[in-house]
Amino acid sequence: LAGDADVQSVQIQSVSAGGEKFAPVVRKYAEKFGVDWVLVLAVMQQESRFDRNALSHKGAFGLMQIMPQTRLELEEKLGVDETLTPRNNIKAGIYHLKRLSRSFSSSSEEDQTRLTLAAYNAGLSRIFDAQDVAAHLGEDPRTWKAVRAALPLLSRRYYTLHQQVWAEGQPRAGYFTDWRQTTNYVDRIVENFGHYDVAIR
């Protein structure tokens, strides 16, 4: 338990340092787009550890780790020439979070947050596929609990289920095997958000 407390202390110190540096920009665009600024910091911590030059093996770049294809779309939507600089990367990431959250407006606030985070990580189409499976199984697709349980069912081994859900016989976004990464991602951000909310708000 002491070890866990030490880790949490380091995490809080890390986000406090990162938050101090980027807080003005995060607050500005979080307020503009209606997103919780502390949640944005928790996402940023998970995505890039506040490294403005972070680059993933899939090509996601910057503080908010925006994928190349998404980056081009966001640049057009926001009317900016690039989303590589920290300010524009943060702006685009927050706008993207808000845009994703609108897809889950019928969910409770808690479920909406978790579904939005899952979509930010796995892609909105993946979460829609999981919602289709959840609905087919008689669960409430508006809840993170139902979607979380449905995500593993998007892998190829459940092809017979897919044939019952979709006329095409498979998930619209293709088979999905990284569901553990997505559920862990959501869990870590929600946990860190709780720590940061107490420490820095």
Q: What is the pLDDT of residues 102-134, one digit of tens each?
A: 999 999 999 999 999 999 999 999 999 999 999
8 A C-beta contact, residue 37 and residue 200: no
* Of the candidates 125, 183, 130, the residue with the CA atom closest to the CA atom of residue 161: 130
CB contact at 8 A, 70 and 95: no
How far apart (Å, rounded) are the C-alpha atoms in residues 56 and 35? Answer: 25
| Averaged confidence pLDDT in the chain | 91
- pLDDT at residue number 9: 55
Helix ranges (H only) for 84-178 are 86-101, 109-122, 124-136, 144-150, 159-165
Is residue 3 very low, low, confident or very high in pLDDT (cuts 50, 70, 90)? Answer: very low
pTM: 0.91
Q: From CA 111, how far away is CA 108, in angstroms rounded?
A: 5
Q: How high is the pLDDT of residue 1? A: 41
Choose among 105, 150, 156: nearest CA to 130: 150
Q: With CA atoms as reference, report the closest residue to 83 among 46, 52, 41.
A: 52
Are residues 164 and 136 in contact, defined by beta-carbon separation less than 8 angstroms? yes
d(CA 43, CA 122): 14
User: Which residue pairs from 96-102 have beta carbons closer than 8 angstroms and sit at least 24 positions apart in sequence?
Assistant: 96/64, 96/66, 96/70, 96/120, 97/33, 97/35, 97/39, 97/40, 97/43, 98/33, 98/34, 98/35, 100/124, 101/35
Active site residues: 47
The 10s digit of each residue's pLDDT in 11-46 is: 556 555 666 789 899 999 999 999 999 999 999 999
Report, as an integer, the average pLDDT of 47-72. Answer: 93
